[in-house]
Amino acid sequence: MSPCSCQELESFDWNQHPQRAFEVGVRCALDDWCVLQTAIADGWAGSDAVGNLNQNELFVQLVKMFGKGNPVDPFDIADFLDLFMANKFNCELEDDSPEWVADLVVRLHADCTIAAYTACNC
């Protein structure tokens, strides 16, 4: 999985590809999620390679949640993130970071749907 790149964000024609804008935004949100990055770096999933695979799986599942055309509740996303971290990284999150990531991803999707990319800014 390629890391978030502000250069990619600045050079891409988002109006032609709103789904791609959303995907890049989700990658950036996951790249910026400190708990997830700590879990990967410290090998909570067993190794860096497994941690990176888990991050990619998380990315795919998050994007799919929005692909069904139904509204997605940030609380459902936060619960999903909590469960994912518990199952894949064996950690119980006691901070509000799943809610922060969920709110950001929902805002990204809403912005990309109307071609207003304010939440995509690095």
Single-letter amino acid, residue 52: N
Q: State the residue range of the domain holding 24.
A: 16-120
First to last CA, the chain: 18
Token readout for 26 is 């989700």
CA 33 – CA 56 distance, rounded (Å) = 14
- Residue 8: inside a domain: no
Its pTM surpasses 0.75: yes
Does the residue 50 lie in any domain? yes
Is residue 1, in this structure, part of any structural domain at all? no
Does residue 14 register a pLDDT over 90?
no
- Our count of domains for the chain comes to 1
Residue 2 lies in a domain: no
75 domain residue, yes or no: yes
pLDDT at 1: 38
Q: Is 51 inside any structural domain?
A: yes
Residue 4 lies in a domain: no
- DSSP H helices, the chain, are 6-11, 18-32, 34-41, 48-66, 74-89, 97-113
Contact yes or no for 2/29 (Cβ under 8 A): no
Q: Closest Cα to residue 64, out of 117, 26, 97?
A: 26
